[in-house]
Amino acid sequence: MRLLLIPIIVVLLSCVGCKESAENEWIPIFNGKDLSGWTIKICGSSLGENFKDTFVVEDGMMCVDYSKYEKFDDEYAHIYYNERLSHYRLRLEYRFYGKRVPGSKGFTELNSGVMFHSQSAESMGLDQRFPVSVEAQFLAEGEGDYSGRTTMNIATPGTSVVLEDGTLQREHMTWTDVGARLPGEWVKVEIEVHGSELVIHRIDGVEVLRYRDPQIDDYYLLPDDYPLPSGTILKDGYIALQGESHPVDFRNIELMILPGNMGSGD
């Protein structure tokens, strides 16, 4: 009987090691072939409708493609990874190309991002432009009014955050000091999220920003009927890649689950 206990103990220890490894390994969450595991929500369209084929897969990339648009009428687009998350690292590469759609607003020039701690795609209103979330903003360097930009900034639709110095930042934008790259250049970015306790932005593996306590805030873009009151701390939510009228490609979208991840229902 004692001899039988030895292999059982070895198996149990091995399983524990497997769990730790799975929590701390990078895994692709976009297969490069189709949009399996992701859900589309475009302003003015029903859940799951890929209006004018805005999201396409080409050459292993997830592309926000506006080739079928003649003009832009607030069709802000988000594509959601289907799993709710709280503790994780997300990394990917993005690049901009081409020109934004006629009729779009100036702020959308060479502009995209990843929303996180977001409300679900299912809970968004039909004509809701942006999900209540925190956004790590992706920008590229442009000309004229769009020159001298930074990237991996914070944008806060319906939310606010507490900066590293303890300031509650209610303004919609918080800027890094890292210059944006030119259109056509791939930029490798990452967010590391520890529930409500800490968020870190990185570019090429280098930290550029950290903050904490993302929370609901009625200062800007919070829907009138949103069910969570201002001041509610956000500990988890969904991630969504964004299209704002300027073509952008994403590739090498990978996720690392960190200890403490608490997937929960919406």
SS3 category, 147: coil
Specify if 2 maps to a domain. Answer: no
State residue 201 phi and psi, 5-degree precision: -100, 140
Per-residue pLDDT tens for 146-197?
999 999 999 999 999 999 999 999 999 999 999 999 999 999 999 999 999 9
The pLDDT score that the predictor gives to residue 7 is 40
The pLDDT score that the predictor gives to residue 37 is 98
Q: Which amino acid is located at 115 in the chain? A: M
Specify if 9 maps to a domain. Answer: no
The pLDDT score that the predictor gives to residue 13 is 39
If one counts the domains in the chain, the total is 1
How far apart, in whole angstroms, are the C-alpha atoms of residue 241 and residue 89?
15
Question: What band does 98 get if pLDDT is binned at 50, 70 and 90?
Answer: very high
pTM here?
Answer: 0.90
Give the structural domain span for 76. Answer: 27-257
The pLDDT score that the predictor gives to residue 125 is 97
Specify if 20 maps to a domain. Answer: no
Q: What angle do CA 266, 159, 178 make, to 5 degrees?
A: 115
Specify if 144 maps to a domain. Answer: yes
Hey, which bits of 49-183 come out as E strands?
55-58, 61-64, 77-81, 87-96, 111-118, 134-139, 153-155, 159-163, 168-169, 173-174
Specify if 6 maps to a domain. Answer: no
Task: Write the burial class of residue 85 (CB in 10 Å: 0-12 exposed, 13-18 middle, 19+ buried).
Answer: buried
Per-residue pLDDT tens for 193-239?
999 999 999 999 999 999 999 999 999 999 999 999 999 999 999 99
Can you give the CATH number for the domain in which 116 is found? 2.60.120.560
- State the average pLDDT for the chain: 92
The pLDDT score that the predictor gives to residue 208 is 98
Average pLDDT over residues 25-30: 98
Residue with more model confidence, 23 or 148: 148
User: How many helices (H) and strands (E) in the chain?
Assistant: 1, 17
Specify if 87 maps to a domain. Answer: yes
Specify if 14 maps to a domain. Answer: no
Per-residue pLDDT tens for 72-94?
999 999 999 999 999 999 999 99
Specify if 45 maps to a domain. Answer: yes
The pLDDT score that the predictor gives to residue 192 is 98
| Partners of 118 in beta bridges | 238
DSSP characters over 211-247: EEEEEE-TTSS--TT-SSPTTPBP--BEEEEEESSS-
DSSP 154: E
